[in-house]
Amino acid sequence: MAQVMDLQTFMKERKKLVEDALFSYMNDVEAPQVLVESMIYSLKAGGKRLRPLLVLATLNSFGKSEKLGLPVACAVEMIHTYSLIHDDLPSMDDDDYRRGKPTNHKVYGEAMAILAGDALLTYSFEVMEDLLNQGVSPIKVVTLMKELSKASGPIGMVGGQVADMEGEGKALALEDLEYIHRNKTGKLLGYSIVAGAILGDATEEQISKLYAFADHLGLAFQIRDDILDIEGDAEKIGKPIGSDTLNEKVTYPSLLTMGGAKEKLEYHIYEAKRLLADIPLESDLLSQLCDLIAKRDH
Amino acid sequence: MAQVMDLQTFMKERKKLVEDALFSYMNDVEAPQVLVESMIYSLKAGGKRLRPLLVLATLNSFGKSEKLGLPVACAVEMIHTYSLIHDDLPSMDDDDYRRGKPTNHKVYGEAMAILAGDALLTYSFEVMEDLLNQGVSPIKVVTLMKELSKASGPIGMVGGQVADMEGEGKALALEDLEYIHRNKTGKLLGYSIVAGAILGDATEEQISKLYAFADHLGLAFQIRDDILDIEGDAEKIGKPIGSDTLNEKVTYPSLLTMGGAKEKLEYHIYEAKRLLADIPLESDLLSQLCDLIAKRDH
């Protein structure tokens, strides 16, 4: 059975667990020192570890040992981190700061930043193999590796990033915006939840409901992101606000007004919780995570 | 039993087989059109398809259906292609041409080239899952995915690329040069052979001998590359010669003289063939591939 637990305690404790595992995996990397340093630099600049925590919270909801999910948790965090390194590059968003620290290429140069990103992406699949050592069946490991590739590749995160780039300066409809966010951020968030469910021996029906739950959660996450870029506190976010307006990016507030965006956020959170309540599951932590995403200030 | 076959016929026929599979996998990618175009552009600019052919030639040597190896063959070609796209970027080698065609970023811009590379790398792991549909056991698929990640990540290809960059303008010893080439090119070539052997139900002993064989083959490949950069025909190679000298890179000829480099090339080819002859295997194709690598003019 899942333990009922306060979300703040869960996040604090599990964050340390995830980070310990993450840096332990990095300790195993026998590669040129500057490459390893550059990978670790960006991994250390990490924030809430939201994706890893979603893996563990889902496992917890299924009453399973969270330790089982650490390889997946670390893999998704590595992929998320690589995507930030590449997004920040001069030819992409050209950002000098991320979470209040100089971006990877500002410290290690552009070439090393590209390679550190490539290395994190590639290494994440090696880390996944460690699931075998947790007693996960080979067929599950293959499925989880394939789904990780789908969530982060051309039909997932990378595709979303391209659509986002292509959409800049263009008039987008709500469905275009949703395509971008579903792919750019939604699918990896969703994968984190579904991977936890697969490891938790979820039924097909549970997995399909959790997919739908994760879809709403992912869109809510992005709407909150868009709102924070206007109403947020630059110090808490760790980067200047107003960058979307500056880059003439279509956002939920620009498309729906701020009021409309906030309504949409509430709608997705409501739907996410409704779906969650419909799954027989100790889902208190996941439900609290919904509130956290809806109200986060960074 | 393996069919005894002329290498030229083998390469011509199998190249088409590999390319058909490669573009069929690309047809399945439902992503923004420009991303898919950019990925295909560089896949089409491909040359000899050496890595895929090594997979198939090894399977052939074990008397197995080569079709079994197509997912791996396509995955290694995608990874090789992504590495060329990223290597050519302005912040890396800054190359405008590759195999006589404008490089990816010259056509699609730097941001799209980075993303096309990321997408190819990520997609290659999804392609690997197709091995299950060939009847390969899940545990073998996991092993092959893990080894692919090792060969191409920080302790493989990416690590070699970093060591290569770090070594520029420095006085390197032969062992530094070998470290660079073992990792930058050797491990993915070696993986192609070992993956074929694993799919061919090789014994541990056969695999370990093929590892050693592949190591010599990989170093021979690189020495020939260094020689071609001085003595090659720019038209055949598809890029200007003399770039190593221009970039003050340490190469086998610069370290050992041209005569010494050629001796070293012969030594590695001799050792590769000696190891190959020691494995009870229909290895005629692999042996012919050694000669091809030693004598290639592009």
Predicted confidence at residue A243, as pLDDT, reads 76
pLDDT in tens, B53-103: 999 999 999 999 999 999 999 999 999 999 999 999 999 999 999 888 999
* Contact between B222 and B186 (Cβ < 8 Å): yes
A&B contacts, CB < 8 Å: 163
Across the range B260-278, mean pLDDT stands at 95
Chain B (20-79) residues lying within 8 Å, Cβ to Cβ, of chain A: 29-32, 34-36, 39
Residue entry with tokens 């100790």: A282
Segment (H or E) for A149: helix A138-152
Q: How far apart (Å, rounded) are the C-alpha atoms in residues A104 and A113?
A: 6
Q: Flag whether the ipTM exceeds 0.90.
A: yes
pLDDT at position B283, please?
Answer: 80
pLDDT value at residue B4: 55
- Tell me what the mean pLDDT of segment B244-272 comes to: 91
Predicted pLDDT at A6: 84
Phi then psi dihedrals of residue A101, to 5 deg: -115, 150
Task: Measure Cα distances from A177 to A147, A150, A292, B195, B217 in Å.
Answer: 23, 20, 23, 42, 50
- Is the Cβ–Cβ distance between A286 and A35 less than 8 Å? no
Can you give the length of chain A in residues? 298
For B137-189, what is each residue's pLDDT tens digit? 999 999 999 999 999 999 999 999 999 999 988 989 999 999 999 999 999 99
A49-82 per-position pLDDT tens digit: 999 999 999 999 999 999 999 999 999 999 999 9
Q: Which of A118, A176, A184 to mutate to probe the B interface, most B CBs <10 Å?
A: A118
pLDDT tens track, chain A, 298 positions: 445 578 888 988 999 999 999 999 999 999 999 999 999 999 999 788 999 999 999 999 999 999 999 999 999 999 999 999 999 999 999 999 988 899 999 999 999 999 999 999 999 999 999 999 999 999 999 999 999 999 999 999 999 999 999 998 898 999 999 999 999 999 999 999 999 999 999 999 999 999 999 999 999 999 999 999 998 887 777 667 777 777 778 899 999 999 999 999 999 999 999 999 999 888 889 999 889 888 887 7
Q: What angle do CA B151, B153, B157 make, to 5 degrees?
A: 65
Q: Which domains does chain A have, with CATH numbers?
A: 7-295 (1.10.600.10)
Check CB contact of B170 with chain A, cutoff 8 Å.
no
A92 in B contact zone (CB under 8 Å): yes
Partner residue opposite A35 with nearest CB, options B115, B145, B159 = B159
A37 contact residues in B (CB cutoff 8 A): none
Strand pairing report for A97-98 and A101-102:
antiparallel
Report chain B's mean pLDDT, rounded to a whole number: 93
Residue B1 is predicted with a pLDDT of: 42
pTM (predicted TM-score):
0.95
Residue B210 CB neighbour total at 10 angstroms: 27
Coil, helix or strand for B97?
strand
DSSP state of A131: G
Contact B152 A115 (CB under 8 A): no
- CB contact, 8 Å: B145 with chain A? yes
Q: Which residue has the tokens 């010669």?
A: B241
Whether B127 contacts B74, CB under 8 Å: yes
pLDDT given for residue A281 in this prediction: 87
Q: Which residue of A has its CA nearest to B88?
A: A111
Give the pLDDT confidence score for residue A4 in this predicted structure: 55
Residue from the list B31, B110, B150 with its beta carbon closest to the beta carbon of A155: B31
User: For testing the chain A interface, which of B112, B162, B188 should be mutated: the one with the most A CBs within 10 Å?
Assistant: B162
